Amino acid sequence: MTRFEDLPYRPCVGVVLLNRQGLAFIGRRADATAEHGAGDTAWQMPQGGIDPGEEPLAAATRELFEETNVRSATLLAEAPEWFAYDLPQAVAGQSWKGRYRGQTQKWFAFRFDGEDGEIDVAQPGGGQHKAEFDHWRWEKLDALPGLIIPFKRGVYEQVAATFRPFAHPV
């Protein structure tokens, strides 16, 4: 049996989508539970796994569309490093068939160039993908770490610090 500490991290991407007012997209997880964030900590930014052979930027663009329906976005920046978090051990045994201890994520910031009506979390990806979120809103970037499940909070603090220079009205 593999020890938790010896499990690898799942390679993923994360997306900070900033509107013209400098606010960040945040969605409430549709599958929120006590283990995965419920109530005030059921929120997160778009994120997801990198497919085999896929480049991180391509994965970020794909995940953004699959989770929000957004295509009208311009790349602002890429985080200079990967950010990682460990899942609580009880959750790690249930997520991803127990193959990973957590995730390592490459984060990207995009400016949303469209109108809010383009965002469709109920039928994302043109209706071709399962809804990850059941509600969304624009929020101050620095407020996001307080809205995420505690085991991801450190990553969100790093993300907020990295992309703070872009979180302003344009």
Q: 157: domain CATH number? A: 3.90.79.10
User: 117 to each of 11, 72, 112, how far by Cα in Å?
Assistant: 31, 11, 12
Query: Does 33 score more than 60 pLDDT?
Result: no
Query: Does 93 score more than 80 pLDDT?
Result: no
How many structural domains does the chain have?
1
Mean pLDDT score of the chain, rounded to an integer? 92
Give the pLDDT of residue 35. Answer: 47
**The domain containing residue 39 runs over which residues?**
4-166
Query: Does 96 score more than 80 pLDDT?
Result: no
Position 1 confidence tier, pLDDT thresholds 50, 70, 90? low
Instruction: Say how far apart CA 20 and CA 97 lie, in whole Å.
Output: 40
Query: Does 34 score more than 70 pLDDT?
Result: no
